[in-house]
Structure 1
């Protein structure tokens, strides 16, 4: 049974809760290629720390879009893959990727606000 509060959250908010953040969309892209081990994912996502990668994978797993499979081997092997729910999310994200490709040139040259060259000095009292 769902409460009225469940209906107050829009679908966009629910989706952003799943894929929001710096690395989750990139993780979805990496896992689109098929099951991947932690080390493979880390090599493909240049700049992500082990801690942040593990946190993001756990979040996607708890959201039901990523499956974590532990193989009973020595040494242990763990693979991550998209679940059927993750596949539907991947399909929903495809138009976003197309939009980025279509507008790449404009977005690459768009001016972004920059920080001031120096911060004002604090006023001494």
Structure 2
């Protein structure tokens, strides 16, 4: 899903929109930042993909698919495009023959590490799965 196709029309669609919210009143800004973050990291596979890139470093599509249990190629592709649209992941062509791309985290993506760690710790403590 691209930034333009975001279904949260009145909510922030990406990092740039979230940064622009610094000019809005405090309570409204906080609410918009939270809903904006939810759009970026609140989807089922987003934190898993970010965690994998944090732990494994830059990876090709096939590597990511093998390393993330239960994700289909279609879902991985859609989620990578969405994260790329939110400027969390960047896609780089490594070679043209054979065609190979590599996905890595941007600086804002790497800065999600404390949040991903906190989510994992909270899950271990309270979800008991």
TM range (shorter): 0.7 to 0.9
2:51 to 14, 19, 29: 29
Displacement of 1:21 in angstroms is 2.0
Q: Distance in 2 between matches of 1:91 and 1:67?
A: 20
TM-score by length of 2: 0.70
Q: Distance in 1 between matches of 2:87 and 2:78?
A: 14
Residue number in structure 1 paired with 2:128? 108
CA contact (8 A) 2:84 2:90 kept: yes
Displacement of 1:9 in angstroms is 4.6
TM-score by length of 1: 0.72
Q: Distance in 2 between matches of 1:37 and 1:27?
A: 12
- List runs of 5+ in structure 2 lacking aligned partners: 1-19
Q: Does 1:80 align with 2:103?
A: yes
What RMSD, in angstroms, separates the aligned Cα atoms of the two structures? Answer: 2.4
Q: Distance in 2 between matches of 1:92 and 1:57?
A: 19
Equivalent pairs, count: 106
